[in-house]
């Protein structure tokens, strides 16, 4: 129930704000999104249904806005060793690794 309370507080705050600190994407969003954002998108704990995350429309909007950012998409695959091969970049040493060294590309060699 504590998580539902927190989601409710966050949803009410985001009803009047595009991001956590207002209209600008900040370190607050970067810090909070990995847990709340992925939770409401169903990427953590398989708890989305139990928590009724679909009821938190403002958190959903905020999470989708952040997860669509190119840097967030790239960051989610770095050091990832599970899931789809095209979403796994075991080691990143250069920006070209995103295009050339994901597990699906390495398997083709």
Which residue ranges form the domains of the chain, and what is each CATH number?
1-68 (1.20.1050.10), 70-109 (no CATH)
Rounded (5°) CA angle 102-105-107: 110
pLDDT in tens, 10-38: 999 999 999 999 999 999 999 999 999 98
Count CA atoms within 13 Å of residue 38 on its CB side. Answer: 13
23 forms beta bridges with: none
Cα–Cα distance, 42 to 99 (Å, whole number)? 26
Total count of residues recorded for the chain: 109
Closest CA to 87 of 101, 66, 108, 71: 101
pLDDT in tens, 56-104: 999 999 999 999 999 999 988 888 888 889 888 898 888 898 888 899 9
């Amino acid at each position: 129930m504590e998580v539902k309370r927190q989601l409710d507080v966050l949803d009410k705050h985001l009803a009047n704000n595009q991001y956590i600190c207002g209209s600008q994407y900040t370190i607050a969003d970067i810090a909070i999104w990995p847990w709340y954002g992925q939770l409401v998108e169903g990427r953590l704990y398989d708890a989305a249904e139990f928590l009724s995350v679909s009821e938190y429309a403002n958190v959903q909007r905020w999470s989708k806005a952040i997860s669509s950012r190119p840097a967030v998409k790239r960051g989610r695959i770095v050091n990832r060793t599970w899931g789809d091969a095209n979403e796994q970049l075991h080691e990143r040493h250069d920006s070209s690794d995103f295009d050339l060294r994901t597990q699906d590309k390495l398997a083709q060699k």
